Structure 1
Amino acid sequence: MPELPEVEIRRQYLETSSLHQPINYIEVEDKKLLTTDYATLLDKLTGRQFNSTQRIGKNLFVLTDDPNVIVHMHFGMTGDLEYYHASLERPRFARIVFEFANGFNLGFLCPRKFERIGLIDNVETFLQRKKIGPDGLAISLVDLTERIRRKKAFIKPILLDQSVVAGLGNWIVDEVLFQALIHPEQRGDTLTDSQMLHLHDAIYLVLQTAIRHEATYRDFPANFLIHVREWDDSPYDDVEAHKFCPRCSTRIERSVVGGRTTFFCPTEQIL
């Protein structure tokens, strides 16, 4: 599932390819992918142009030259974007296509049809209605501390709760807790000031690292926990040899916390 880093990469892609180009038409192959009626989508966006973008967690907002018309994109499980010239073959899975006046198109790729596009008129109202908290890259230490310490649950499901902090998925939370030396089953209301500082720093470190490497996991630093996971693009022939902590060489443990598969170092992440 696209996490915050992947959605940020898509935001940057849209910004560099698709702004300030009048929209001539929007072709939609499957109307079920829309959260706004198709006729309304056409009426509101034809002749408009994308002016800027904003990302909160895993949600991408595209602002137009009408301040009351904002496109909301959610990339579901495998959504993506592709900007291409209209003379070229339509990309596979481009089930929604924005056709621009300059002869280029922006395809919204929906391989598994879990993706969604629709219109909203105010970002803050949308976030409040959906109970989406501050973005993982923008949340302050003070705000993060307040939001976590009011919870008596395990820290891992707290961080996965999008109303607490937006954009942290399963592998990201495991990595954040590993970098911060915090056990995934420590209760949120027991974290010390020092742990909160390390946690806040780790969130920024992990997200920025993922964005910098364009979410290509094999390129992440060697001291990242992510290398113990069996990704399709793993650079290791002997996966078993990389099931150990890159800092202390203890075998990484695998468990289930909050219903999610969890990896942690039992020596460094002490409960």
Structure 2
Amino acid sequence: MPELPEVETYRRFIDQTCLHLPISEVEVQDPKRQLQLDLDDFRKALVGNQFTSTQRLGKQLFLETQNGPVVHLHFGMTGDVAFYKDESETPRFARAVFHFQNGFKFAFIDSRKFGRLGLTQSVDVFRKQKKLGPDALTITAAALASGLGKKSAAIKTLLLDQRIAPGIGNWLADEVLFQAKLHPERPANSLLAPELETLANAIRDVLETAVAAEAIYRDFPAHYLIHAREWDTAPAAATPDAHLHCPHCQHLIEKKYVGGRATYFCSHCQK
């Protein structure tokens, strides 16, 4: 599932390929399922228009245009992007294709069709409508404290709440808590000010590391928990004998469900 690091990588890719190119046509394969407005209205807003800049908020990507409306992309479970010219290069699961006047095309790819496309007035309007918190990549301890408030729920559960720090998914929350040495079931309202500072720093550090690695998880540092998680296909950096042991203390990594989500942690390092 595309998380914040993947979406940030997509944003940077779009910046390098799709900006300032007049749009000549827009195709959406299954508009009733994946488009959040009428297809004719979507085309009317974009044909003859052009993307001028991009923004990201959590896992949401926004393409600002020359003539006003902002295209919103949510990648669901299998979303991706492509930029190409020849028709033969069209990705198999291209669900929406933006044609540019210079002959190139930009595709929104989504094999399982859980992604969504739409228009919004601005990123700020969208954020207020969806009640999203400040982006996790730039979260501060003060903003984190404000979002958590006096909530007594497990910190792992609250980190997944996009109203607090949008962009943190399940494995990211585990990694952040591992790096901050906080137990995933720790009540949020029990965190002290220094721990909130440590947590905010860990969120930013983990996300910055993931973005710098272009979300290629096998390239993450050896001391990251991601190499000790169970995956359908284990990361290349892991070995069958080591991928369930803590990279710090070599204790077995434990797995349990917190808030209904599979959670990995080290009970020795995360008291």
TM-score > 0.5, shorter chain as reference: yes
Identify the range of structure 1 (248-257 vs 71-80) with the bigger mean alpha-carbon deviation. 248-257
Q: Distance in 2 between matches of 1:182 and 1:17?
A: 41
Distance 1:62 1:157, change over 3 A: same
Aligned to 1:56: 57
CA distance in 1, matches of 2:214, 2:85: 24
Q: Deviations over 1:178-203 (max 9, x none)?
A: 00000001111110111111101100
- Equivalent in the alignment of 1:263: 264
The residue aligned with 1:212 is 212
Could you tell me the TM-score, scaled by structure 1's length? 0.96
Deviation string 1:187-238 (CA, Å, 9 cap, x unpaired) is 1111011111110110011101111111111111110001112332522574
Measure how far apart 1:154 and its partner are.
0.6
Distance, in Å, in 2 between the alignment partners of 1:237 and 1:60 is 32
Amino acid at match of 1:62: L
| Aligned residues of 1:218 and 1:233 also touching (Cα < 8 A) | no
Paired residues for 1:34-183 under 5 Å: 34-67=35-68, 69-183=69-183
Matched residue type, 1:64: T
Partner of 1:200: 200
CA contact (8 A) 2:147 2:163 kept: no
Contact 1:252-1:264 within 8 A present in 2 as well: yes
Task: Tell me, in whole angstroms, the C-alpha distance in 1 between the residues paired with 2:17 and 2:36.
Answer: 24
Contact 2:139 2:204 in 1 (8 A): no
Q: For the residues of structure 1 that align with 2:55 and 2:13, how far apart are their CA atoms?
A: 13
What's the secondary structure of 1:126's corresponding residue? helix
Structure 2 contact 73–117 (Cα < 8 Å) conserved: yes
Q: Which amino acid aligns with 1:243?
A: L
CA distance in 2, matches of 1:168, 1:59: 12
Residue of structure 1 equivalent to 2:243: 242
Name the stretch that deviates more: 144-153 or 178-187. 144-153
Cα offset for 1:242?
2.3
Q: 1:207 to 1:237 in 2, by over 3 A?
A: closer
CA distance in 2, matches of 1:253, 1:237: 17
CA RMSD of aligned residues (A): 1.3
The structure-2 alpha-carbon separation of the partners of 1:121 and 1:237, relative to structure 1 and needing over 3 Å to count, comes to closer
Contact 1:139–1:165 (CA<8 Å) still a contact in 2?
yes
Q: CA deviation at 1:100?
A: 0.1
Task: Give runs of aligned pairs for residues 179-194 of structure 1, distance below 5 A.
Answer: 179-194=179-194
Structure 1 residue identity aligned to 2:225: L
TM-score w.r.t. length of structure 2: 0.96
Q: Distance in 1 between matches of 2:245 and 2:223?
A: 11
> Relative to structure 2, which stretch is displaced further, 219-228 or 241-250?
241-250
The equivalent of 2:10 in structure 1 is 10
Q: State the shift of 1:145 in Å.
A: 1.6
Q: Give the deviation of 1:28 after TM superposition.
A: 1.5
Q: State which drifts further: 146-155 or 189-198.
A: 146-155
Q: Which runs of 5+ in 2 are unaligned?
A: none
Residue in structure 2 matched with residue 222 of structure 1 by the alignment? 222
Inter-partner Cα distance in structure 2 for 1:13 and 1:97 = 16
How far off is 1:86 after superposition? 3.8
